[in-house]
Each structure stands twice: as structure tokens, then as C-alpha cells.
Amino acid sequence: MFRGILVSALSMALCGCVTTTVVTVPAPEGAPQVDDYQVAVNGKPVALYTAMADDGKGDNYYFGSFDFDGPVEVRISSIVPLNRAQILPAAKFGIVPEFLSKNELRFTVDRPFRICLETDGRRKPLLLFGNEMETDAPSPDDPNVVYFGPGNHLAGKIELKANQTLYLAAGSIVNGAVFAEGDNITIRGRGILAGEAYARWKGPHGWMMTLANGKNITVRDIIFRNPYTWQLVAHGCDGVVVDNVKICGARMINDDGIDICNTRNMTVRNCFIRTDDDCIAIKGIGPKKWNQGALPCEHIRVDDCELWTDMANIYRIGYECNAAQMADIVSRNCDVLHYSADYRTPDKYWANCVIFLQPGGGMPMHDIHFEDIRINADDISTVLLNARSMKTSAGEQYTTGGVLYNCSLRNVSIEGQRPQNYKAHMLFEGLGEGEMVRNILLKNVTLFGEKVTRNHPDVTINDFTKDIEFQ
């Protein structure tokens, strides 16, 4: 049963000169009470939810979401001191906190944002999402709409076909999985698609959300929580947009955030992704049941996102390489809030990296570009870039590596306080004359303000490489 109704507030802000609207929705009955934090926007309380870390054995964390139009004041209070709290990424959204007391702060904001408030590093943070106003919610009476209203739902497997819309209303928690096959499908709403009702790998479908064999597919605004497997997977698609999706994972390993598999013309933008496993994974996993052959992964954009992995990779491109090619993949203006706490040197087979480019099975990987990527330094070393031809697998072990060429990192920075003995490895390595790593440009790549050159101690350039250039 739903505890309350949609709250819409019209208030005057900025000396009474600008009218603002704030919409908050209470959590459904039975949702665990959050005592660590309280949030109010223009005086209206924001419902907070709990997400699991490490299957409940780690430190759980919290998130809240609201809609607004115009400048608003956000107040956050906590049972723990906030006077040394850090907001990530504050500069990206123009947020300047004012500390009102030891346990309370506020800030003003006039545009959508996705932030993480931390009082003790990764431990028990608060994620807060401010959205644009929703103006075009579909009718629950529309025969082409699958509609979940406010409240708790044990939905099982939700199947969508061409020209259908799935809508999760604000204040809904829907435990289940989505399988969407066909063209012109939309999945949207302010609700939560949850996986905590299911044990690891034991949900009602193989992946929490599968977009399969379709064109013109949109996923926007919803929140994923407590996954039981990979979360949002596009496979065999052409033309996908994922916009303003929030992924509150890290419940367990194998909870990849967004997997782009044998798919082309896909855009991921304005998303917040926290996982235990890979945040963005681009894979060739083969034709499956559609007999399409090994379709390429190409013409992919990942822009304006916030990314956090606990144990794996921020960007993993390759490993599964049963695809015609991986090409024209670009990521711009993204913030890495935290990278893997499981540090391994880049020569390891299961190295964990900010960017891992690993073609195998003879597959060509080329024209992969990263621009304006900001990485918040943790208190451990990382592998910033691993560019390696590898004998990996897609079900069966490859007998050859792949070829990697025409790639770049521009304006990529590791920022914050430099820990003692810190390393930010960059490794370049081919496997043979036909499995080379070549034509790679690193332009204005900096570690704590220091520009990286070819002779930097963190850079290793091994055999079967050519034209690795630093500017």
C-alpha cells in the first residue's frame, strides 16, 4: 500500500523572483527506514532508499530522487558529522555546499544533477539524483502500456514486444526482470527495477533487463537496485538510447551495469552507474537464437556519466570478441568516482582497469576514443589504461589475439590527493605481427597535474606495438 500521494510544491526562490516546482514522492509501505540521512528540497522531504553492497556483507548505502524545475535549495542532515563531507562530482554540476552545522549542509542547484555525498570514502554514501520535471507520463489505460503504479510489486518476468511501453511510476519498487524484443520499445518512469527478491543468477530471466533484436529502443529515468545478474543488456540491437538511468548495484560480482553486446548505434548519456563488476562493458557474445552472425559493436557513445566500480573495470571493451568488429566507440565528459579496490598489476589476466581494451579471437578493434575523463584518486593504485591483444574467450578460449589501432585518450586526468607509492599503470602490448597494438595517442593525460610522457615510470610499452604517441 502506498503511504501518501505525489507532492507538488510551488515556491518562490532567489529573492522571490523565480518560481520553482519540486516533486517528491514517498517510499512505498514496507521500504526500510533510512536513519543515517535526511534530505529536504525547498522544505519538502525526499524519500531515501537502501541499496546493498557485497550481498549485504559490506556497507549498505542510500539514494534518493526528486524532480524539479528552477533553482532549489537542498538540505542534507546526518547522524554522522558532515563538516568534512565530500560531494562527487560537485564541480560538474556547479554545487558548492554550505556547512550549516556539524551535521547539516545545504546547497542550491538549478539544473539536473547526480551526486554522491561521502562522509567516509566509499562507506555508506548518499546518492542524490535531481531530475527534470516529468511532463508526459503515459496512461495506465493505454493498451500498449505495461504500467506499474506506486507500491511494491513482485513482477517476475515482464515481456515486451514491438511498439510497447513499460512504465514504472515514481514510488514503485518492481522486483523482476524485463525481456524486450522488437522495434520501437520504450522503458521509462521514476520507479525502481529491483533484484533483491532473487538470489545471484536465480532471477526470472538471465539478465535484469534484456533489449533484444530491436531498433529504436529507449530506456530512461528509471533506477536499478540490488541486481541478481547483469543489469541492462542490449544484444543484437540497432538504435538504442539509455538516458538518465541510475544503477545502484554492487550487491555482488557479475552485476555489470550496461552491457552493449553485438549492438550498433547506441547512446548512453546522463547516467549514474555503481557496480561491483564492470560499469560499461562492450562485448561480442555471438548470435544467440536470432541467427544473425557475429554482429559488430560500433557507433557507440557514452557521454556525461558518473561511474563507480568496486571490484572490476570502469570501461571493459572486448574480452568476449565474437563480433565482426568493435569500432567508433567514444566516451566524453565522464567522471570516475571510484575504481576497483582489488588492485592488480596490468600484466595479470584479470587485471582491473579504468580503461581495458582487449581484442581477441582475431577481431579488429579500432577508433576507440576517450575525451575529458576525470578520475577521482582512491587510496590505492590503479591501471589507467590496459591496451593489450589477448587470447581471451567468448564461451571458448580464443587461439589468437586481436588487433587494436587508431585509439586515443585526450584530456584524461587523475585528480585529488596523491597517495604514497601511487601507480597509474599504462600498458601497451601486442601478441604478434598480425595482432599488434598501434596508432595510440595520449594527449594531455595527467596524474595530479603532471603530464604523462612516454618515459613516465608508470608507462610500459612492450613488443608488437607501433606509433604509441604522447603529446
Tens-digit pLDDT profile for the chain (471 aa)?
Answer: 333 334 444 443 444 456 799 999 999 999 999 999 999 999 999 999 999 998 666 789 999 999 999 999 999 999 999 988 999 999 999 999 999 999 999 999 999 999 999 999 899 999 999 999 998 999 999 999 999 999 999 999 999 999 999 999 999 999 999 999 999 999 999 999 999 999 999 999 999 999 999 999 999 999 999 999 999 999 999 999 999 999 999 999 999 999 999 999 999 999 999 999 999 999 999 877 666 678 999 999 999 999 999 999 999 999 999 999 999 999 999 999 999 999 999 999 999 999 999 999 999 999 999 999 999 999 999 999 999 999 999 888 999 999 999 999 999 999 999 999 999 999 999 999 999 999 999 999 999 999 999 999 999 999 999 999 999
Q: Kindly report the pTM of this predicted structure.
A: 0.95
Name the phi and psi angles at 55, rounded to 5.
55, 35
Q: Go through 230-242 and write b for each residue having 16 or more CB atoms within 10 A of its CB, e for each that does not.
A: bbbbbbbbbbbbb
Q: Residue 292: its pLDDT value, please?
A: 66
Domains plus CATH for the chain?
A: 7-131 (2.60.350.10), 230-470 (2.160.20.10)
Give the separation between CA 285 and CA 262, rounded to whole angstroms.
Answer: 7
Phi, psi of 99 (to 5 degrees): -90, 110
Predicted pLDDT of residue 2: 34
Residue indicated by cell numbers 555482488: 252
Ramachandran area for residue 14 (φ above 0: left; ψ -120 to 50: alpha; else beta):
left
How is residue 411 written as a grid cell? 584530456
